[in-house]
């Protein structure tokens, strides 16, 4: 994994750049503000504009060549373009993603270091997280909803750091899900997301600058998945979400 442009410049959603590789309906860009997805997060959506018009970016495909931006029409582009990330979609992903960290932190704290076994964010403003919780009382999990919203209202800042892989693995709870944690960058470091005062974990996704940026969160459903796993479905409520 390289450090994404959006990691360094999370507020830059519109960017002038160049096409460096193209096929009908797809381009690789010199620089891109799009998050490519991964770790349960969906890729950014948006548009690409050039002298001849505008086309929607409907997906990102990571390959050894780079990130192919998949276009809604089979146009073949070259030269200078402007890209614009869909701000509403990015905002929703960042809210949901930050809220999954809050949920994860509270579960980790209250349920003896329970680990995440999977996570998926959805385009409809909902997400699910699976936890390894063999004997958990689902009512205790449900009772986390007001506490999650309390953390949101406390407006805790979100910060980033890069640590070595060895340090990341040595810090208890930092890599809470090996399938979701980002691989080290080219320089061997891992990106750590800190919700100050609450939680630190390895993650390559997009997040809010502080927790108050999230709308209220609901715990929608808790399912038992096999003997060990609990699947917690959450969703944004109110004006910021679905
Ligand atoms: Zn994250």
Fill in the DSSP letter of residue 188.
S
Q: How far is the CA of 114 from the centre of ligand 1 (A)?
A: 17
At 139-155, the pLDDT tens digits run: 999 999 999 999 999 99
DSSP state, 157? Answer: B
Give the C-alpha separation, 219 to 234, whole Å.
Answer: 4
Q: For 119-141, give the DSSP string.
A: EEE-TTSEEEEEEE-TT--HHHH
Q: How far is the CA of 15 from the centre of ligand 1 (A)?
A: 24
Distance 42 CA to ligand 1 centre (A): 12
What are the residues facing 130 on neighbouring strands?
118, 231
Distance between Cα 193 and ligand 1 center (Å): 7
Give me 52's structure tokens.
């001849």
Question: Residues near 208 by Cβ (< 8 Å), separated by ≥ 6?
Answer: 94, 95, 98, 158, 214
Count each helix (H run) and each strand (E run) in the chain, helices first: 5, 13
Task: Output the CA 23–ligand 1 centroid distance in Å.
Answer: 32
User: Strand, coil or helix: what is 50?
Assistant: strand
**C-alpha 192 – ligand 1 centre gap (Å):** 9
Helix, coil or strand: residue 156: coil
Ligand 1 centroid vs 194 CA: distance in angstroms? 9
Percent of the chain with pLDDT over 90: 78
Distance CA 22, CA 100 (A): 36
**Arithmetic mean of pLDDT, 199-227:** 94
Cα(207) to ligand 1 centroid in Å equals 6
Ligand 1 centroid, distance to 29 Cα (angstroms): 25
Q: Which residue has the higher pLDDT, 162 or 181?
A: 162
Q: Which residue has the higher pLDDT, 96 or 241?
A: 96
pLDDT digits (tens, 9 = 90+) for 225-238: 888 899 999 999 86
What 3-state class would DSSP assign to 213? helix
Residue 181 CA, ligand 1 centroid: distance in Å: 9
- Cα-flanking dihedrals φ and ψ of residue 63, to 5°? -135, 175
Query: Residue 101: is its pLDDT beyond 60?
Result: yes
pLDDT digits (tens, 9 = 90+) for 61-82: 999 999 999 999 999 999 999 9
Element (H, E) at 48: strand 46-50
Q: Are 40 and 118 in contact (CB under 8 A)?
A: yes
């Amino acid at each position: 994994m390289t450090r994404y442009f959006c990691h360094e410049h999370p507020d830059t959603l519109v960017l002038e750049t160049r096409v460096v590789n193209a096929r009908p309906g797809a381009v690789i860009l010199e620089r891109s503000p799009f998050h490519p997805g991964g770790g349960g997060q969906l890729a950014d959506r948006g548009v690409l504009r050039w002298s001849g018009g505008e086309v929607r970016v409907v997906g990102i495909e990571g390959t050894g060549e780079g990130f192919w931006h998949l276009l809604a029409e089979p146009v073949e582009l070259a030269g200078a373009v402007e890209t614009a990330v869909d701000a509403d979609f990015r905002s929703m992903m960042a809210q949901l993603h930050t809220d999954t960290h809050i949920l994860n932190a509270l579960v980790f704290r209250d349920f003896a270091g329970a680990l995440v076994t999977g996570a998926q964010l959805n385009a409809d403003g909902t997400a699910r997280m699976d936890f390894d919780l063999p004997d958990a009382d689902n009512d205790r999990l449900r009772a986390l909803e007001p506490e999650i919203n309390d953390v949101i209202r406390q407006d805790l800042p979100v910060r980033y750091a890069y640590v070595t892989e060895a340090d990341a693995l040595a810090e208890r709870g930092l890599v809470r899900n090996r399938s979701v944690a980002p691989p080290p960058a080219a320089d061997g470091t891992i990106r750590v997301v800190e919700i100050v005062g609450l939680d630190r974990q390895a993650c390559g996704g997009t997040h809010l600058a502080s927790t108050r940026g999230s709308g209220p969160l609901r715990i929608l459903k808790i399912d038992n998945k096999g003997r060990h796993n609990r699947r917690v479905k959450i969703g944004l409520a109110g004006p910021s979400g679905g």
